[in-house]
Amino acid sequence: MRLFAIFGNPVAHSLSPLLHNAVFTRLGWPDRYIRERLDDGVAIRKCFETFGLSGANITVPFKEEAAQLCDRVEGVAAVVGAVNTIVREGDRLIGYNTDAPGFWASLEGFAPKTALILGAGGTARALAAILKEQGSAVTVLNRSAERLEFFRHLGLAVATWEAFAPSKYELVVNTTSAGLTDQELPAPKAPLRSVLGEATRAYEVIYGRETPFMALAREIDLPVQDGKAMLVWQAVLAQRLFTDPPISNDEMAKLMFNAMELL
Ligand code: NDP
């Protein structure tokens, strides 16, 4: 039996065990996936030894620390400095970021030429990196200036709320935590309404609730999707890295969506 875990703080709300165990159950494998709340990300390496883990997912607030403690960091995880998936190879821990390709897969073939990302945190970094890699012209809009430096270095257009001159973007993505536990919009209403009015699709990374950003998009009849498919696809891609199961990614995604429906 192989054991996998998700590390975070808080982590009690995490649906990752449900998603990954649905795959193990379908395959009749004895492998299991658990969640573990940590006070300190430094403990991740020790936990791998103590529990004899084969792999793990990492969530808030340890993704950056996880990138530091891996022996090797692959692909987009190295660009953004954030790891959400660790695979053990012998004594070595290899870090990946499946949030970024998971987000891309969740777009289901929609490849925006222009994208506006609201927010400049860890999720914004992952999304900006994959959108840029896939050929989108990306602009990042954030409340404050400090976190925009990373995106400027990546060669992207950046703006704070004060300096923002709205333009036309096919995709507008909210990666801020505005709307997660409050009723706030991720940016001032007038410019936000203006960019949504010109967009083809709105995307909210939060899932499980209708946020003010989603409500605003619906108000103007703009198609909007929430973060559920991104959650599922990052898990599908992590599972592929963990165990390379003998079923397709689409079949895994279907199993995971079904598991969430049963909640
Ligand atoms: P971070 O803490 O790294 O970044 C938060 C960002 O939100 C910052 O840019 C911050 O701006 C901005 N922000 C916070 N509050 C407000 C507000 N009231 N108004 C405007 N901007 C605000 O967060 P993460 O990137 O780790 O996570 C962001 C969201 O993504 C969370 O809601 C999380 O649940 C979700 N998520 C979803 C996933 C999925 O699979 N669907 C995967 C990962 C995350 P400033 O710099 O000015 O402080």
Structure tokens at 255: 């199993």
Q: Supply the residue whose CA is at minimum distance from atom 27 of ligand 1.
A: 123
Is position 228 annotated as part of the catalytic site?
no
64 touches ligand 1 (CB under 6 Å): no
Question: Ligand 1: does its nearest atom lie under 6 Å from the Cβ of 41?
Answer: no
Alpha helical stretches, state H, 122-206:
122-133, 149-153, 189-198
Angle between helices 249-261 and 16-27 (to 10 degrees): 120
Residues near 210 by beta carbon (within 8 Å), at least 6 away in sequence: none
Question: Which among 173, 158, 236 is positioned nearest to 204, based on CA atoms?
Answer: 173
- CA of 139 from ligand 1 middle (Å) equals 16
Is 120 a pocket residue for ligand 1 (Cβ < 6 Å)?
A: yes
Work out the number of other CB atoms within 10 angstroms of the CB of residue 224. 22
Per-residue pLDDT of the chain (263 residues; tens, 9 = 90+): 999 999 999 999 999 999 999 999 999 999 999 999 999 999 999 999 999 999 999 999 999 999 999 999 999 999 999 999 999 999 999 999 999 999 999 999 999 999 999 999 989 999 999 999 999 999 999 999 999 999 999 999 999 999 999 999 999 999 999 999 999 999 999 999 999 999 999 999 999 899 999 999 999 999 999 999 999 999 999 999 999 999 999 999 999 999 999 87
Mutate to test the pocket of ligand 1, among 123, 158, 180, 181 (most ligand atoms within 8 A of CB): 123
